[in-house]
Amino acid sequence: MSRPASEAGQRSQATGWATAARELGLASGAPVNLGWHLADRICAAGRGGHPALLWEGHAGETRRYDFDDLRRRSNAIASFLAGLGVGPGDRVCLFLDRVPELYFAFVGILKLGAIVQPLFSAFGDESLQTRLEDAGTLALLTQRRHLGKVRRARERLPALRHVVVVDVGAGALQPGEVALDLERGPLPEAFEPHRAGPETPSILHYTSGTTGKPKGAQHVHGSLPAQYWTAKVALDLRPDDVYWCNADPGWVTGTSYGIIGPWSNGVTQVVLDAGFNAERWYETLEKQRVTVWYSAPTAIRLLMREGTELAYRHDLRALRHLASVGEPLNPEAVHWSRATFGRPFHDTYWQTETGCIVIANLPGARIKAGSMGRPFPGIDAAVLDPERFEPLPAGRVGQLGLRPGWPSMLRGYWGNRSAFDAKFRKGWYLTGDRASVDADGDFWFVGRDDDVINTGGHLVGPFEVESALLEHPAVAESAAVGKPDPVNMEVVKAFVVLKPGFEPSTDLELEVMNALRRRLSPLAMPQEVEFVPSLPKTRSGKIVRRVLRAREWGEPPGDLSSLMED
Amino acid sequence: MDDLERAILDYVRREYLEEDDDRQVGLETPLITGGIVDSFSMVSLKRFLERKNDIEIPDAEATPAAFDSVRSIAALVRRVAARRVPV
């Protein structure tokens, strides 16, 4: 049987999170400012001189900041924003590459009690504007190179009053834009952190669904014990580790385990602000003597393509623990990792909404290659019948459900109560992922329960892609589905019906692809556009994506009786 | 700089740099590691190269390293084009 809620589960839940809260010095109901915990608490514990951030830019420039630097720079940003009139509860967007200012601002905004809204800096005009509009964002931090997108979005965003540019140099600013130079400005010794309670909003991470616009998953300061504890237990972080998380903080892995997890544990982390290059990654692992590495299957598969020899040319003996997240880790990657690094990647499973790892191959446990592992102690997970929402027997595929109650679970979708309520049935949080559990209690990922496309570990909503496609003058109708991809698990494929007067061509395909990239993001750009005379539809005219998706995956299309005939 | 390199450079500047992006892109500028072209956008760049040069670049050769500069991309295009069998 899969695992129903049990007394033992409840006890371990209480024990695990309570241990974390005790180690963090959190008395029940006491203020718990996440920003303060990531910097000031570590300094107060006598580790202010310990390295917090080992940063390297794409051109090879390096910077090193200790926890006291982090404390004072986050104070500077909190003071600066307060001076602009930003206060508790206001939404502040980070639209930055992985520059040091992003990390300091994340902590500073939390200290101020404002809500951090990190957005992937490769987002195009529409993706940026949609998310800022939905959140009613008051202030945004960015770099000169992204100002064009921000300015275009701002024309339609009256609520966005402050744009803070962190590298403005001699560039001209427009009204409402202000420069912040952390390297030259004052670094206040003290900043009184907002007295955040466990339920005070902290972070807004946008995530895509099948229908409608992206939703802002809202998290709280009281999530801290979950990220602290799972980073310590599932990622095996220890005080003198050098930790590298490959994720961008535009996505939840880049905040929960690219900022909160390591820094709440007082652990040094490495950031490489550069695109993927296998040689460069191995150099970073070697040079920084990385001990714990949290990566993603897509990156691992790209490394596998480059061969083992490249890895062997580097001294990677410092590596102690390897983990992966974002999409299922295929068995070949686990075996390759053992052969190449002498230790396996440990798959972990969680979502934007869960805020922390909920299923994992824990350090030291035996790994069944290809399995996501077992529920993290304190998490109650089950595979549910998709109609009745009751746990299914072992071996059956159903929807993965989690019993609510762990500290970092989302508290809502920003301004969208009905979408939040729809995530719960019969006391279970529904992940939207299909899985099975075997007789040993190990969980196996099967796929999404909806039409959302998981590409390289990032979720892309088909509705967003289709809406953007329809903006193109040549497109009459469109459907977006995931198609298999050896590196990214799946990539976006678009089916397009052209308006009269337009003919399919490679030029037009390229034009459509680039238009989507600029409008949405490189992730959402279809990697293939197929021009078709018509799309499969129900008799009521609704496009049936599953038929197209099944064709791409070589699967049976399911019941076709309700489809309209051409 | 030959015609092929110039065409690639023009395309990269036009498609991947924002108006306000004042970074200088030359033949040796790192495109992938420099964050100008990401691994997803590589697909549209590959499609452009294939269309422009009437070739098909095998996925196994379309690596981030091969796409990391205008010069290395041009070299890849020349290699693939040289293998083309005349019809």
Say yes or no: A274 contacts chain B, CB-CB below 8 A. yes
- Kindly report each contact of residues A44-51 with a partner whose C-beta sits within 8 Å and lies 24 or more positions away, as own/partner: A45/A266, A47/A239, A47/A266, A50/A266, A50/A268, A51/A268
Q: Which runs of E-coded beta strand occur in A499-565?
A: 528-531
Give the per-residue pLDDT at A565.
Answer: 60
* pTM of the shown model: 0.91
> Residue A125 and residue A154: Cα distance in Å, rounded?
10
Q: For A202-212, how does the pLDDT look when each residue is reduced to its tens digit (9 = 90+)?
A: 999 999 877 77
Q: Which two tokens stand for residue A485?
A: 């991809």
Give the per-residue pLDDT at B85.
Answer: 65
Give the per-residue pLDDT at A12.
Answer: 47
Residue A520 in any domain: the answer is yes
A506·B32 Cβ contact <8 A: no
- Residue A393 pLDDT > 70: yes
Domain identity same for A418 and A505: no
Residue A293 in any domain: the answer is yes
B63·A305 Cβ contact <8 A: yes
Who among B18, B32, B51 is closest to A275 (CB)?
Answer: B32
Domain identity same for A119 and A258: yes
Q: What does the pLDDT average to over A176-195?
A: 93
Residue B63 to chain A, least CA–CA distance (Å): 9
Which chain A residues touch B19 with a CB distance below 8 Å?
148
B64·A58 Cβ contact <8 A: no
Q: For A146-180, how does the pLDDT look when each residue is reduced to its tens digit (9 = 90+)?
A: 999 999 999 999 999 999 999 986 568 999 999 99
First to last CA, chain B: 30
Select the more confidently predicted residue: B84 or A105. Answer: A105
> Residue A154 and residue A26: Cα distance in Å, rounded?
40
Q: For A484-525, how does the pLDDT look when each residue is reduced to its tens digit (9 = 90+)?
A: 998 889 999 999 999 999 999 999 999 999 999 999 999 999
Mutate to test the interface with A, among B47, B54, B67 (most CBs of A within 10 A): B47
**Does residue B29 contact residue B70 with C-beta atoms inside 8 Å?**
yes
Who among B31, B41, B48 is closest to A522 (CB)?
Answer: B41
CA distances from A253 to A157, A247, A261, A268, B29 (A): 28, 6, 10, 17, 30
Residue A263 in any domain: the answer is yes
Domain identity same for A433 and A457: no
Residue A27 in any domain: the answer is yes
Q: Which of A438, A419, A446, A440 is nearest to A430 (CA)?
A: A419
Which chain B residues touch A276 with a CB distance below 8 Å?
32-33, 39, 64
Residue A491 to chain B, least CA–CA distance (Å): 9
The structural domains of chain B, ordered by start, are: 3-17+25-83 (1.10.1200.10)
Of A437, A466, A499, the domain-final residue: A437
> Residue A109 and residue A79: Cα distance in Å, rounded?
9
Distance of CA A117 to the CA centre of its chain: 12
- Residue-wise DSSP of A202-222: EEEEEE--SSSS-EEEEEEGG
- Residue A281 pLDDT > 50: yes
Domain identity same for A120 and A50: yes
Give the per-residue pLDDT at A566.
Answer: 55
Q: Which runs of E-coded beta strand occur in A313-464?
A: 321-324, 345-349, 359-360, 374-375, 381-384, 398-402, 412-413, 424-425, 428-437, 443-448, 453-455, 458-460
Q: Which two tokens stand for residue B16?
A: 């991947």
Of A437, A471, A493, the domain-final residue: A437
Of A381, A410, A437, the domain-final residue: A437
Residue A461 in any domain: the answer is yes
> Residue A380 and residue A157: Cα distance in Å, rounded?
42
Domain identity same for A430 and A463: no
Q: What does the pLDDT average to over B39-63?
A: 90
Pairing assessment for the beta strands A453-455 and A424-425 based on DSSP bridges: unpaired
Domain identity same for A382 and A479: no
Residue A48 to chain B, least CA–CA distance (Å): 32
Domain identity same for A166 and A196: yes
Predicted complex ipTM: 0.88
**Does residue A385 contact residue A428 with C-beta atoms inside 8 Å?**
no
Q: Which two tokens stand for residue B12?
A: 């990269």
Domain identity same for A470 and A432: no
Contacts for A302 with CB less than 8 Å, ≥ 6 apart: A276, A278, A487, B39, B64
A58·B21 Cβ contact <8 A: no
A513·B43 Cβ contact <8 A: yes
Give the per-residue pLDDT at A221.
Answer: 98
- Residue B39 pLDDT > 50: yes
Domain identity same for A348 and A467: no
A148·B21 Cβ contact <8 A: yes
Give the per-residue pLDDT at A1.
Answer: 35
Residue A445 in any domain: the answer is no
Q: What does the pLDDT average to over A262-267?
A: 98
Residues 517-546 in A contacting B (C-alpha not used; CB under 8 Å): 517, 522-523, 525, 527
Confidence of residue A445 (pLDDT cuts 50, 70, 90): very high
Residue A140 to chain B, least CA–CA distance (Å): 17
Confidence of residue A43 (pLDDT cuts 50, 70, 90): very high
Confidence of residue A5 (pLDDT cuts 50, 70, 90): very low
> Residue A161 and residue A91: Cα distance in Å, rounded?
11
Q: What does the pLDDT average to over A289-318?
A: 95
Task: Name which of A148-162, A227-241, B29-43 the model is least confident about.
Answer: B29-43
> Residue A446 and residue B19: Cα distance in Å, rounded?
43
B64·A274 Cβ contact <8 A: no
What domain range includes position A469?
453-553
Give the per-residue pLDDT at A206.
Answer: 96
Residue A2 in any domain: the answer is no
- Residue A6 pLDDT > 90: no
Domain identity same for A426 and A311: yes
Give the per-residue pLDDT at A7.
Answer: 45
Domain identity same for A433 and A459: no
Residue A411 in any domain: the answer is yes
Most confident of A123-132, A555-564, B39-48: A123-132
Q: Which of A563, A539, A540 is nearest to A548 (CA)?
A: A563
* DSSP three-state, residue A248: coil
What total of structural domains would you count in chain A? 2
Which chain A residues touch B35 with a CB distance below 8 Å?
58, 97, 273-275
Q: For A119-135, how does the pLDDT look when each residue is reduced to its tens digit (9 = 90+)?
A: 999 999 999 999 999 99
pLDDT > 90: percent of chain A: 84
CATH number at residue A55: 3.40.50.12780
A95 sits in which H/E element: strand A91-95
Domain identity same for A279 and A395: yes
